[in-house]
């Protein structure tokens, strides 16, 4: 199974693609879609949509794991984040992909054992779990990979629970 993780943002949207086979994870790709803060919101959203569409066509994920909205201090930032999330979800749905959502705390707890883990801790765990020679950078890309890993681990846990229930 291929999992695409998306860490949405109106200026930087991180993406990360992993392959899961028999509970073994391997790294396929990661990066950041950058837009100009000086550009209009519609043009930034168009770029995010277009670039995610290319990633989806290139790597053919089976599912998209995206960060769920959390309460932000700045309402304007939260609205822009919501727009970027919506575009990422639309790109996935238009490509016939299932979309799953995880809160930042769920991702941090799954990877680092604490819902309050620092970004650097999550980044180091991503490196270890994917056996990467270097830290995945920037944080937007490592957060996207963390979302993909979180979904893989969540699926594995559900499989184990189902097996125990039999």
76-135 residue pLDDT tens: 888 888 999 999 999 999 999 999 999 999 999 999 999 999 999 999 999 999 999 999
What pLDDT shows up at residue 74? 81
What pLDDT shows up at residue 166? 77
The 8-class DSSP code of residue 39 comes to S
What pLDDT shows up at residue 80? 87
CB-based contacts of 45, cutoff 8 Å, min separation 6? 10, 83, 84, 87
Residues 42-84 have pLDDT tens digits of 999 999 999 999 999 999 999 999 999 766 678 888 888 899 9
Of 19, 43, 20, which is closest to residue 30 (Cα–Cα)? 19
What pLDDT shows up at residue 158? 78
CA neighbours closer than 13 Å in the CB half-sphere of residue 140 = 14
What pLDDT shows up at residue 72? 61
Say which of 20, 51, 67, 143 is annotated catalytic.
67
Say which of 62, 140, 143, 156 is annotated catalytic.
140
pTM of the entire structure?
Answer: 0.94
Q: Tell me if residue 143 is catalytic.
A: no
Q: Tell me if residue 62 is catalytic.
A: no
Q: Tell me if residue 140 is catalytic.
A: yes
Q: For the structural domain made of 2-165, what CATH number should be given?
A: 3.30.420.10
- Average pLDDT for residues 24-46, to the nearest whole number? 97
């Amino acid at each position: 199974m291929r999992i695409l993780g998306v860490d949405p943002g109106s200026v930087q949207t991180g993406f990360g693609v992993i392959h899961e086979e028999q509970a073994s994870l391997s790294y396929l790709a990661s990066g950041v879609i950058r837009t100009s803060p000086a550009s209009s919101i519609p043009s930034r959203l168009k770029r995010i949509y277009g670039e995610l569409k290319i990633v989806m066509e290139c790597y053919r994920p089976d599912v998209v794991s995206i960060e769920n909205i959390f309460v932000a201090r700045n309402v304007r930032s939260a609205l822009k984040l919501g727009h970027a999330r919506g575009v990422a979800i639309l790109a996935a749905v238009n490509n016939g992909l299932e979309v799953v959502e995880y809160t930042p705390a769920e991702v941090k707890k799954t990877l680092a054992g604490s819902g309050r883990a620092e970004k650097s801790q999550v980044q180091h765990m991503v490196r270890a779990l994917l056996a990467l020679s270097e830290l995945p950078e920037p944080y937007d890309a490592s957060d996207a990979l963390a979302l993909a890993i979180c979904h893989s681990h969540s699926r594995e846990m559900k499989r184990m629970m189902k097996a125990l229930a039999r």
